[in-house]
Structure 1
Amino acid sequence: MSNENNDQARTSIEEAKAYVIDSIAETMDLYGVTRSAGNLYGTMYFEEDMTLDEMREKLGMSKPSMSTGVKKLQDYNIVKQTFRKGTRRQTFVAEKDFFQFFTNFFTKKWVREAKVNLDAIKQAQQDLDNLLKDKELEEDIRQEAEQTYIKLEASKPYYHWLQKLVASIESGELFEMIPIDESDE
């Protein structure tokens, strides 16, 4: 292959990577991770490991933005700190297994969703209980408080189901019920 063909081939590879990096960034943005952190993860996905300087150079981001993005991705356990032999600089590696990514990323979000909402429901229901103990409460206000309490109670099964979903993912049970298809279809 000539140098010109090699250059075109390398350009094609970089364009193919760019499509995937952009789609990863867009997808992560849908789930509340900044697009820049999504670009960072997507870029790291195609690398063995990277230092903050290498990330900054590749993405053109400031070092503080890079550190913030890496920290956020570490919080989701989809980027891990590693050590490269022969250097004292910190290096980082992205989770390459999308099933593990799914497990780490979504379960963390769903656990938080269930906890935040169940805590809010518990507090709201306690407040409504206290309100309903008031013997002098007007009937229309009492009915509204009771209806609100019932609506809150009706939402609890979803959050308990979400907790079960997380447990089934973390235990691997979900992947037994819905096996991972190894084909590329």
Structure 2
Amino acid sequence: MDMEQAYLAVALENFRDIKRMGERVLAQLNDEEINVIPADESNSIAIIVKHLVGNMRSRWTDFLTTDGEKPTRNREAEFEGGYPTRAALKEEWEQGWQMVLETVESLTPDDLLKTVTIRGEKHTVMQAIQRQVVHYSVHIGQMVYIGKWLKRDRWQSLSIPRGQSQAYLEEMLKRSEKEKLDKE
């Protein structure tokens, strides 16, 4: 595998990981909780998802041939309302992520240095992908924080729970050693 193909594989896996993290947050929340706005000038998880989906539709539709900020996008409306149910949110979430993943899967190594625009600003395809990885990660991090705030002591950790770092490290080292021995 050449470096360009490896980059596309890593970018695709990054997007899948970001999506899974968001889904693990959503799995812990009910319809009411997804719409809680934690503070003035903050967004609910539903609004964050609405914004992500709007961004995904705009950026990934005709990715290589049109500006990533589509004239049909109403970004301001993404920060109003939300979703009445998790089911409605989930349907939009899946549609948005499907656009992202299918577009990235369709790219070839020859596409990476092509130029695309976002709001008239030129980016290589690689830069545009990285821009979205960062953007989506920031918003998923916001969702995690809001979810932890809502659930408090009922929150199920999405990574290594506090106080378990050493045990986790030891388990990973054991697994690595086993894989090494299995290869021999």
TM over 0.5: no
- Give the TM-score band, short-chain normalised: under 0.3
User: How high is the TM-score relative to the length of structure 2?
Assistant: 0.26
User: How high is the TM-score relative to the length of structure 1?
Assistant: 0.26
Give the structure with the larger helix fraction.
1
